Structure 1
Amino acid sequence: MIRVRAGLGALGVLVGGYGAWVLLTRQDQDQLIGAATWLAAGVVLHDFVLAPLVLLLLALGARVLPRQVRAPAVVGLVVLGTATLLAVPVLGRFGERPDNATLLDRDYTAGWLVVAGLTLVGVTVGTWISRSRHRTTDDLDGGERGPGAGGR
């Protein structure tokens, strides 16, 4: 197992090194500055905007949502949040050019709405499964909520 991890780590370092070499040898200075700015902005936005916002939403959700809904809601938040972040360039139609109709040639908003709907369905199904499991466990406990009943 350790050899597999070491091999995968070495492969990752090699691929990353090759990517860095290609970036540094085949791009002009403006492109390198743009890439560095993009990477730095991504770190800043993640650490100072996205992560605190997600933590705030999770804290609010922990107070408001019933216990059985929390895990599916977190999964839904992670899935939809990630999909939304990845879709920002196409949803904003960044890079659209009037002389090339093949760029951004779809209704990406409709696609994002489908992903959001499927995520909501998944969260609903996950909540239903979680609630049914908790009901079964409660039935086995006899519905008691004393000190020895598991403290749920």
Structure 2
Amino acid sequence: MTSRIGVWAAYAAGLALIGVGARGIAAEVPAARWAAWFAGAAVLHDAVLVPLVLAAGLATARLPAAARRPVRAALVVAGCVTAVALPLVLGYGRRADEPSRLPLPYGRNLALVLAAIAVIAAAAVAVRLVRLARRREGGRRQGGRR
């Protein structure tokens, strides 16, 4: 019962934050500009992100069951991180006369983040495979005792 109250409290807090955000958008952003941004986001989601996620699902379908989820999750996270970082990596907004604008090595940093995602996914796959092997080994031992 207590967890249900917590869930409804979280829903209410989320709805209140959505209301604050919607109020801010209505007060500060012209409707045509917001509608164009929203339409662009919908097109990006439906025309780019969804097909890429489906393609990743198909490409990983032949992986062992223990590896499928972590690899798919890593691909989705890596794709989203890349989509967010790509404007920085490509240098949109960088100006030669203003060296303090976009001063970091964004390409290298993206590569490091993607490498970290790959390492975490590989560790998750390794943990799942070890657990699966232990379960199988334990089942053989119990089966031999009977």
TM-score norm. by structure 2 comes to 0.82
Distance 1:4 1:111 in 2: 34
Which deviates the most, 51-60 or 11-20?
Answer: 11-20
Instruction: Map Cα deviations across residues 16-42 of structure 1 (whole Å, 9 max, x no partner).
Output: 212331113xxxx9xx54x54343222
In structure 1, C-alpha distance between the alignment counterparts of 2:49 and 2:58, rounded to whole Å: 14
CA distance in 2 between counterparts of 1:125 and 1:137 reads 18
- Give the alignment partner of residue 123 of structure 1, picking from 121, 140, 146: 121
Displacement after TM superposition at 1:66 (Å): 1.1
Partner of 1:10: 16
Moved over 6 A (4+): none
User: What SS does the aligned partner of 2:94 have?
Assistant: coil
Q: 1:118 to 1:4 in 2, by over 3 A?
A: closer
Report the Cα distance in structure 1 between the residues aligned to 2:82 and 2:58, rounded to whole angstroms.
21
Q: Between Structure 1 and Structure 2, how many residues are aligned?
A: 135
Q: TM-score scaled to structure 1, two decimals?
A: 0.79
Alignment of 1:1-152 (within 5 A): 1=5, 2-24=8-30, 33=33, 36-62=35-61, 64-142=62-140
**Root mean square deviation of aligned Cα:** 2.0
1:149 is matched with which residue?
none
- 1:36-94 alpha-carbon deviations (Å, 9 max, x no partner): 434322211210222012112212211x2111111110121122111101101101111
Corresponding letter in the other structure for 1:78: V
Instruction: Give 1:107 deviation, angstroms.
Output: 1.0
Question: AA paired with 2:39?
Answer: A
Q: Where does structure 1 lack aligned partners over 5 or more consecutive residues?
A: 144-152
Percent identity of paired positions between Structure 1 and Structure 2 = 27
